[in-house]
């Protein structure tokens, strides 16, 4: 490649299942699936080995359906600690090649390897990384090679498992443009129908789409995606991306000093909703919650708490806020309340250990949150209200 930048996107293949197979070599070559709540029929497939996928097993598929398609399926519970240890070892290997490593998720990342351009052929470099990960961790991966992050990401998806794909700008028309629009990185599943209704069925259709039509129907995001479809992406590989956002919070001064617990709870409910909306608009999650209380005598108290899994939903924020509040409130009249979030990270970096009992509910709740956000954005914050009615001091 003769471009100024050399970017790799590395994506582990069937990571959770691969880690389990590395832990127990007897599973190698067998159809293996990781499932939330595997003891019950309502369990959901989290991920599966390629042997299982060959039988039709897919992520989010009900467990009963997966077993029907693949009667010999070996089903295991998620082991978050095991996956985090493997992820840490993986990124230690990647950082040994360059300090410019941007972790995207527990099993995915970008590397800026431009400094190697004159030393080794990109494919040979990718092979050496791939072979080292396999030798040291017994884990397979796919690598995309390109002059920018978008093309590298698209390339890594083209050959799995154990693939290495190089995608140059001169190859975009033949390798990228024929792909259906729903395979383009950055196009959400919920918007695929909207693109298709505008006769954008392939990435090539988007690359050649009318500028004014895209701006009118998809806004600035549509123009940005058209640039990506044409291979334009100047984003740097940023090792510190997860810490770019400092905090997001809201506070409110009550109309009167109060000891009314219903009013306090109602105020926290409202604050949690406002913080959630801001986090969601920015696609951010939080690993820390802070409560601020200003008492009637102007004394200020703050109390913070780190959480095990990144949070974003109103219900999660409110639950943590109430828990912290119960620990710190001294029973005196309150003048001001605030909820802040810190240690923020982008949605794509947020890794949540899949809960055995709530994985399916997480999917439903995410869909409900998106619907409520759309309603609020169209009709205002008060169009959808949940929780108890606000009460005045008695």
Per residue in 122-133, pLDDT (tens digit) is 999 999 999 999
Of 143, 166, 189, the domain-final residue = 166
Could you tell me the pLDDT band of residue 59, with boundaries at 50, 70 and 90? confident
| Spatial distance between the Cα atoms of 65 and 49, rounded to a whole number of angstroms | 16
Of 108, 315, 370, 392, which one is the catalytic site residue? 108
Does residue 247 form part of some domain? yes
Least confident range from 17-21, 86-90, 126-130, 369-373: namely 369-373
Report yes or no: 296 and 333 within 8 Å, Cβ to Cβ: yes
Range of the domain at 71: 1-166
> For this structure, is 183 an active site residue?
no
Residues 82 and 41 in one domain: yes
CATH number at residue 19: 3.30.70.270
* Residue 283 assigned to a binding site: no
User: How far, rounded to the nearest angstrom, does the alpha carbon of residue 53 sit from its chain's CA centroid?
Assistant: 23
Residues 91 and 202 in one domain: no
User: How far, rounded to the nearest angstrom, does the alpha carbon of residue 16 sit from its chain's CA centroid?
Assistant: 16
- Average pLDDT of the chain? 86
Report yes or no: 129 and 110 within 8 Å, Cβ to Cβ: no
Residues 76 and 205 in one domain: no
Average pLDDT for 257-276: 95
Q: What is this structure's pTM?
A: 0.66
Residue 116 confidence (pLDDT)? 92
Does residue 389 form part of some domain? no
| Spatial distance between the Cα atoms of 370 and 374, rounded to a whole number of angstroms | 6
Q: Is 378 left (phi over 0), alpha (psi -120 to 50) or beta?
A: alpha
Residue 38 confidence (pLDDT)? 59
Does residue 162 form part of some domain? yes
Could you tell me the pLDDT band of residue 354, with boundaries at 50, 70 and 90? very low
Residues 223 and 139 in one domain: no
- 269 forms beta bridges with none
Which of 165, 166, 143, 238 shows the shortest CA–CA distance to 2? Answer: 166
| Spatial distance between the Cα atoms of 86 and 340, rounded to a whole number of angstroms | 32
Does residue 171 form part of some domain? no
* Residue 343 assigned to a binding site: no
| Spatial distance between the Cα atoms of 51 and 32, rounded to a whole number of angstroms | 7
Number of folded domains in the chain?
A: 3
Tokens for 49, please give them: 């080995």
Per residue in 302-327, pLDDT (tens digit) is 888 888 778 889 999 999 999 999 99
Residues 202 and 104 in one domain: no
């Amino acid at each position: 490649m003769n471009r100024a930048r050399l970017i790799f996107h590395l994506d582990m293949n069937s990571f959770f299942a691969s880690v389990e197979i590395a832990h127990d070599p007897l599973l190698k070559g067998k159809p293996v699936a990781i499932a939330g709540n595997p003891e019950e029929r309502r369990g959901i497939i989290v991920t599966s080995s390629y042997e299982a996928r060959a039988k039709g097993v897919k992520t989010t598929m009900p467990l009963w359906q997966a077993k029907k398609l693949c009667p010999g399926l070996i089903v295991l519970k998620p082991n978050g600690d095991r996956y985090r240890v493997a992820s840490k070892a993986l990124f230690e290997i990647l950082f040994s090649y360059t300090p410019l490593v941007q972790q995207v998720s527990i099993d995915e990342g970008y590397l800026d390897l431009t400094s190697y351009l004159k030393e080794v052929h990109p494919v040979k470099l990718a092979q050496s990384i791939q072979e080292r990960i396999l030798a040291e961790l017994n884990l397979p991966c796919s690598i995309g090679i390109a002059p920018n992050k978008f093309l590298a990401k698209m390339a890594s998806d083209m050959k799995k498992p154990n693939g290495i794909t190089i995608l140059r700008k001169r190859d975009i028309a033949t390798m990228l443009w024929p792909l259906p629009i729903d395979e383009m990185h950055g196009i959400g599943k919920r918007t695929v129908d909207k693109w298709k209704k505008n006769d954008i069925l392939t990435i090539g259709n988007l690359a050649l789409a009318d500028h004014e039509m895209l701006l009118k129907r998809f806004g600035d995001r549509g123009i940005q995606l058209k640039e990506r479809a044409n291979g334009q992406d100047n984003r740097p590989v940023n090792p510190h991306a997860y810490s770019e956002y400092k905090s997001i919070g809201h506070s409110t001064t009550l109309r009167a000093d109060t000891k009314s617990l219903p009013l306090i709870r109602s105020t926290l409910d409202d604050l949690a909703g406002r913080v959630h909306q801001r986090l969601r608009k920015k696609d951010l999650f939080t690993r820390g919650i802070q409560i601020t209380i200003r008492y009637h005598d102007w004394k200020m108290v703050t109390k913070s708490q780190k959480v095990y899994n990144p949070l974003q939903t109103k219900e999660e924020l409110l639950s943590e806020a109430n828990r912290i509040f119960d620990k710190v409130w001294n029973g005196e009249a309150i003048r001001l309340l605030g909820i802040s979030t810190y240690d923020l990270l982008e949605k794509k970096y947020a890794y949540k250990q899949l809960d055995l009992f709530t994985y399916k509910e997480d999917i439903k709740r995410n869909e409900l949150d998106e619907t409520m956000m759309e309603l609020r954005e169209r009709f205002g914050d008060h169009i959808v209200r949940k929780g108890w009615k606000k009460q005045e001091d008695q």
